[in-house]
Amino acid sequence: MKNVLSIVALMILMTAVPVAGQDPVPAPTPAEVEAFVAAAEEELLELWIRKERAAWVQENFINLDTENIASLAYEELMARTAALAKDATRFTGLELSYDLARKLNMIKLSLPLAAPADPSKQSELAGIAASLTSMYSTGKYCPQGDGDCKTLGDLSRTMAASRDTTELLEAWTGWRSISPPMRGKYARFAELGNAGAQELGMADLGAMWRAMYDMPPEAFAAELDRLWKQVKPLYEALHCHVRAELAEEYGSDLVKPGEPIPAHLLGNMWAQSWLNIYDLVMDPEDAGADVDVTRILRDKGVTEIDMVKYGEAFFTSLGFEPLPASFWERSLFSKPEDREVVCHASAWDIDWEDDLRIKMCIEINEEDFTTVHHELGHNFYQRAYNIQDPLYRNSAHDGFHEGIGDTVALSITPEYLVKVGLLDALPQEAGDRGRLMRHALEKIAFLPFGMVVDQWRWQVFSGATPPAEFNAAWWELREKYQGVKPPVVRTEADFDPGAKYHVPANTPYARYFMAQILQFQFHRALCQAAEFEGDLHQCSIYANDAAGKKLRDMLAMGASRAWPEALYAVAGTTKMDGGALLDYFAPLHEWLNEQNKDRTCGW
């Protein structure tokens, strides 16, 4: 009945086109705008829930039928969102309250994909979107063609553990064999997505994404460049040291001074994290004094569920309520053996209230221990803002959502591990450098990759990179920002961007770059609230009431206020700033500069 009333309300609000001889239709009143927004919120919430349930089933039971079900739900949501956004343009120019004006804009920008008005194109776009996700998630490398196939998990374990360059190269190229069939689909996807964005008055889909940040699209691009320049010297120092150490391991014929690093040697399928080559780049004395979280977890017999329990306990120590029983009943924690699932870690808010879940094929290691905290950060954020109106049930911007769990994970210090019984005693002080290096190999190494993915897509959506140059443009950006290169010649028969989940899944990626900046801003501010004294990297806010209250208050704001206001609520500033990140890594940066004195840096 509620849905029927919503549709009726929307129909009543449709403005008739005046005809000759009739008086002009009067401008809509604020009361009419309020009724439109209320009805739209109610309808969109129902469609969001329907789409979320369909997507959950598709990603947990991947087959043709679930793909079609998810595609239809997404198609319906895109179509109605586009229709409501176009209806909302009738109110342009009216003097409206803050909330009405903000919500009208949010209706237009509530999805990362806008559907064209043509129903056949809507259906085609939704189908391509579902198909690309399934192609990625079911992708396997079958070297012999005899059924002995390797999944992304298999190949990633090789990338992490092997020091045999032949094995590494096969794993690297093997995973990229899954993406060339996506190439044509992705070109059409971009074409249709652009058409939908342009019907909403945007230049292209990339401009629509950049318009989501309470600033003009061009200002947002400039903001990312400003932040990157701020932290770039630290990345360059890390790159220089890592390249020199890899040359020691593999020889300077393979790892050349002054040139980009071959991407298959960095321990990760996309060279976005270098944590798995820690043993190659850290002084053995420092490495020996560091805390090996992976070994601790395995020695203690920690299970997948235990990992999540530790994450939940951190949030409850800050004053958050425990997760609901349904979370434990409905989440996916381990990879099933009887079906295909999307193993890429994700957090879900199925009903936009309390049906919270994570979907993750957890492995017992330090990386996944951190990832669990990251995903739970989404869940606790989702529940904190469920008191808001539907359109405000989101983060201040998507970098906030990605940064909250990582902020908490920065407090996984040796002191914290002792408090929760995972570590018996604190290591010697020399271990600090090793721990900072671990964080740098994960977080600093990621920064330029966090820029590349959307830089590439923005160029694709704008037409600056045509389909005939997809792969060349990808590697130009990888070299420019990351200083990495492909280990073998790549051509336009390849589609290497498609080998990264977020491209076929159409997930905007600049959020992850901003999250790397924001988590250190949040961490510093919360440590100040906790009255911590000492080096920033040694601070843990575990079980601190003052820090917990500050965090809870900000999360409860959701998207009800522009992100600078949300940032101010925690950090006392309205400006994103890489200064806290530089403060955190200052001792390591100084050490890296000493190591690099006589080396050729840059590329």
| DSSP string covering 63-98 | SHHHHHHHHHHHHHHHHHHHHHHHHHGGGTT----H
Task: Confirm whether residue 415 is marked as ligand binding.
Answer: no
Structure-block tokens of residue 557 = 């704001």
User: In the prediction, which pLDDT does 475 show?
Assistant: 98
Q: Which band of pLDDT confidence, cut at 50, 70 and 90, is reported for residue 459?
A: very high
The label of the residue with tokens 């589609």 reads: 495
Task: Confirm whether residue 381 is marked as ligand binding.
Answer: no
Beta-strand runs (E) in 265-355? 346-349
The reply to whether 439 belongs to the active site is no
User: In the prediction, which pLDDT does 359 show?
Assistant: 97
- Give residue-wise pLDDT tens across range 77-120: 988 998 898 888 889 888 999 999 999 989 988 888 888 989 99
- Give residue-wise pLDDT tens across range 402-431: 999 999 999 999 999 999 999 988 876 656
Q: Under 8 Å CB-to-CB from 287, ≥6 apart: which residues? A: 278, 279, 434
Rounded Cα distance between 186 and 225, Å, is: 27
User: In the prediction, which pLDDT does 25 show?
Assistant: 61
User: In the prediction, which pLDDT does 15 show?
Assistant: 35
Please give the average per-residue pLDDT across 468-478, as a whole number. 98
Domain spans of the chain, in order of start:
299-430+534-576
Q: Which band of pLDDT confidence, cut at 50, 70 and 90, is reported for residue 23?
A: low
Beta-strand runs (E) in 288-363? 346-349, 356-359
Q: Which band of pLDDT confidence, cut at 50, 70 and 90, is reported for residue 14?
A: very low
Rounded Cα distance between 49 and 38, Å, is: 17
Q: Are 440 and 238 in contact (CB under 8 A)?
A: yes
Rounded Cα distance between 206 and 217, Å, is: 9
Give bridge partners of residue 332 from the DSSP assignment.
359
- Give residue-wise pLDDT tens across range 52-62: 999 999 999 99
Residue type, 200: L
- Which residues in 283-303 are b (16+ Cβ under 10 Å) and which e? eeebbebbbbbeebbeeeebe
pLDDT exceeding 70 applies to what percent of the chain? Answer: 94
CA neighbor of 474 nearest in space, from 516, 491, 488: 491
Cβ count within 10 A of residue 336:
12
CA neighbor of 523 nearest in space, from 439, 455, 594: 439
Q: Which band of pLDDT confidence, cut at 50, 70 and 90, is reported for residue 288?
A: low
Q: Under 8 Å CB-to-CB from 1, ≥6 apart: which residues? A: none
Question: In a 10 Å sphere around its CB, with 0-12 CB exposed, 13-18 middle and 19+ buried, how is residue 201 labelled?
Answer: middle
Q: Are 327 and 317 in contact (CB under 8 A)?
A: no
Give bridge partners of residue 357 from the DSSP assignment.
348
Task: Confirm whether residue 481 is marked as ligand binding.
Answer: no
Considering the candidates 41, 375, 442, 537, report the single residue annotated as catalytic.
Answer: 375
Q: Which band of pLDDT confidence, cut at 50, 70 and 90, is reported for residue 210?
A: very high
Task: Confirm whether residue 402 is marked as ligand binding.
Answer: yes
- Which residues in 84-98 are b (16+ Cβ under 10 Å) and which e? bbebbebbeeeebee
The label of the residue with tokens 């150490």 reads: 245
Enter the pTM of the model: 0.89
Q: Which band of pLDDT confidence, cut at 50, 70 and 90, is reported for residue 587?
A: very high
Evaluate if residue 303 carries a pLDDT over 90.
yes
CA neighbor of 379 nearest in space, from 323, 340, 337, 432: 323
The reply to whether 321 belongs to the active site is no
Q: Which band of pLDDT confidence, cut at 50, 70 and 90, is reported for residue 401?
A: very high
Counted residue by residue, the chain has a size of 603
Task: Confirm whether residue 511 is marked as ligand binding.
Answer: yes
Cβ count within 10 A of residue 516:
22
